Homo-oligomer: A and B are copies of this chain.
């Protein structure tokens, strides 16, 4: 089954609200195995809405219309759709009674406009609104299903869940359920990942592989379309094994709601290891990122922001003379920052950041040059140099992600022993 989502509302076309209804419906329909091939947005204009409906009928079987069921004159979705279908609009008495009771309870006068919300399309089926006043309508034409939903997301979502899903399930062929698994990668670009997996991606039918580049990471969504969960998991396991064999070195975790910092904090907690940081160009961003994770206090007590050379000397007791000799954008400085932070706060690990955020050069080094140091209890500290490019924010973000990755790999290596 092919579906299309039409959002009706001039406010979307003016950029005053974001069309999150289309996103929600798309997710839900994907989970039900319904293919969504198009979204459209059209304003509160009868002629344009009618044309968009005509176009949708040429290419889709299920047509969702979202918005324009409200009480005002410019809410015309039901009016236009009824006319388009050659049906009359009729007043639903039950919905009308509820609207009148609701408005009288608020001590307001019932206007003619309020009553418009109880209108429905003749020969359609009413979709109850458990979170508002305007009722929705389901209409089955000879070749198409029409589903009219209210615009406010809180009303639309509940109506979809309680009223629409049962209708769709009656009409959908049984075998088409989707099961997804998300794999997360750090340290490999989207193009390289896609190149490594080119033949798997090219020959995908079921399960499918969809790469998606996020800031400083890439996710792969594996999706199996099948009627049984056990079989889906087996299909996903097989495909994942082939993916991991090639790019497993960059894999760090599963799931849409996961992140490198979550996995890093989870690992530290599991092994009861503590961490601190000394930050120059990142100026507290690494520690603040740790602080995003609820319960991080088990493994993180605090640390240092040493933006200037003086602060490195004063707060971390680095030698001013050595810093002058090596420079602050140096392996020496990164190692010393990490080790001094670790030793002052007596933690198991410490990560340090020193470099050139830009836009200007520093110590004759280009913007984007960053040294990241890692100290571990009872060991010599180490440091790695990175050359990030582009703007100040991108340099700092990339530094944080690489710092997390270095820390995570170090803890993993140490605790596997």
Interface residues of A (CB under 8 A from B): 7, 10-20, 22-30, 36-43, 45, 48, 51-52, 55, 59, 70-73, 102-103, 105-109, 111, 113-114, 131, 152, 189-192, 194-195, 201-202, 210-213, 221, 277, 279, 281-288, 290-292, 294, 296-297, 300-308, 310-312, 314-315, 344-345, 357-359, 387, 389-394, 396
User: What residues of B have a CB within 8 angstroms of the CB of A28 in the complex?
Assistant: 15
Copies in the complex: 2
**New A-B contacts (10) at CB < 8 Å, excluding given A37-B48, A288-B396, A301-B311:** A13-B36, A15-B25, A19-B22, A113-B195, A279-B284, A291-B307, A301-B307, A311-B345, A314-B344, A314-B345
Contact of A283 among B12, B38, B51, B287 (CB under 8 A): B287
Q: Using Cβ atoms and an 8 Å threshold, which residues of chain B touch A11?
A: 210, 212
25 A–B contacts, CB within 8 A, in A order: A13-B26, A14-B27, A15-B22, A15-B25, A16-B221, A19-B19, A19-B23, A22-B41, A37-B45, A38-B42, A38-B48, A73-B202, A113-B195, A283-B300, A284-B284, A284-B287, A284-B288, A288-B288, A292-B393, A296-B307, A301-B307, A301-B311, A302-B308, A311-B345, A315-B315
Give the distance in Å from the alpha carbon of A102 to the alpha carbon of B271 in the complex. 39
Distance to closest chain B CB from A220 (angstroms): 12
Known: A14-B27, A102-B389. Contact between A287 and B302, CB under 8 A?
A: no
Contact in complex: B108, A189 (CB < 8 Å): yes
Report how far A116 CA is from B262 CA in the complex, Å. Answer: 35
Establish whether residues A72 and B391, one from each chain, have CB atoms under 8 Å apart when the complex forms: no
Q: Do residues A10 and B283 form an inter-chain contact, with CB atoms below 8 A?
A: no
Residue of B nearest to A202 (CB): B73
Residues of B close to A152: CB separation below 8 A? 213
Query: Using Cβ atoms and an 8 Å threshold, which residues of chain B touch A43?
Result: 37
Which residue of the partner chain B has the closest CB to A40?
B40
**Quick check: B192 and A108 within 8 Å, CB to CB?**
yes
Contact indicator A294/B18 (Cβ below 8 Å): no
* Bound Cα distance A24, B284 (Å): 31
Please give the distance in Å from A299's CB to the nearest CB on chain B.
10
B36–A38 CB distance below 8 A: no
